[in-house]
Amino acid sequence: MRSEGSARGILFGFHPVTARLRDGAHTVREIYVDAARQDARLRELVAVAQQHGVRVIATDARRLDGLSGGAAHQGVVARIERVEQPRDVGALLDAREEPPFLLLLDGVTDPHNLGACLRTADAMGVHGVIVPRDRSVGLNATVAKVASGAAESVPLISVPNLVRAMEALQEAGVWLVGAAAEGTESVFEARFDGPIGWVLGAEGQGLRRLTRERCDRLVRIPMLGRVESLNVSVAAALCLYETRRQRTMRTLAVPKTTS
């Protein structure tokens, strides 16, 4: 399997930094903390870092602002080595113990939405998230913070052409399901068997025409109130949860064999 080489990056915020210490302390080079903070939460994080042998440097808020690019860092910024991840769709499909379970995002530009999608993808056991290289946000510090550690556990694959990536997935046997208001089936009525990739569109625009036409089927999320659409991260949560629920129920329904 081909994968990205290690690259240095920045992670900020209590939850993302704590999650990295828990799951991959060897990739944390050093942590900068606000010298003016003396609360229990910060002391606990420092204690965890010291247990793992990670250097902690007390500094001022101005330096923390510079390291985080002016984002809300909560007084905690870490220099990290990025975890190796698959670099292309082919590598993403290799060595899976269950049928591929993927999320494709068509033109999501809000880093908070991408981070939330990654967090849900991690919770639902999604094998990878695929985004187009253009007109889409990539993995940056804000995405990593919102993802709360999921950016390191869920591969994020950036592809030059999303439609071509969809074609490659279909050739590999992955069934692509688009979330769209014009879908003939409800997400709560449809069955999601075998290899599946959910395709969701950008905020306010939905799926682009070519992306929508490339899907094998379109499924709608029933809307019972006055609101006509959902935020993409909320829609992703509903679709991914229902797919995982069905997979879990089918696994439980398989009778156990006795020798």
Q: Is residue 259 part of a domain?
A: no
Q: What is the CATH number of the domain that holds 61?
A: 3.30.1330.30
How many CB atoms are located within 10 Å of the residue 137 CB? 18
Do residues 108 and 14 share a domain?
no
Helix/strand/coil (H/E/C) assignment for every residue in the chain:
CCECCCCEEEEECHHHHHHHHHHHHHHEEEEEEECCCCCHHHHHHHHHHHHCCCEEEEECHHHHHHHHCCCCCCCEEEEEECCCCECCHHHHHCCCCCCCEEEEEECCCCHHHHHHHHHHHHHCCCCEEEEECCCCCCCCHHHHHHHCCHHHHCCEEEECCHHHHHHHHHHCCCEEEEECCCCCEECCCCCCCCCEEEEEEECCCECCHHHHHHCCEEEECCCCCCCCCCCHHHHHHHHHHHHHHHHHHHHHHCCCCCC
Could you list the pLDDT tens digit for every one of the 259 residues in the chain? 233 333 567 888 887 788 778 777 888 999 999 999 989 999 999 999 999 999 999 999 999 999 887 777 889 999 988 766 677 888 888 756 678 999 999 989 999 999 999 999 988 889 999 999 988 888 887 887 888 777 777 889 999 999 999 999 999 999 999 999 899 899 999 999 899 999 999 877 889 999 999 999 999 999 888 877 789 999 999 999 999 999 888 665 555 555 4
Please indicate, yes or no, whether residues 45 and 107 belong to a single structural domain of this protein. Answer: no
Last residue of a domain, one of 45, 60, 81: 81
Structural domain includes residue 172: yes
- Can you give the residue range of the structural domain that contains 96? 89-253
Does 1 map to a domain? no
Say which residues have a Cβ less than 8 Å from residue 83's Cβ, sequence separation at least 6: 24, 27, 152
Say if residues 65 and 34 touch (Cβ distance below 8 Å).
no
Please report whether residue 21 resides in a domain.
Answer: yes
Domain total in the chain: 2
Residue 132 shares a structural domain with residue 236: yes
Q: What is the pLDDT of residue 259?
A: 44
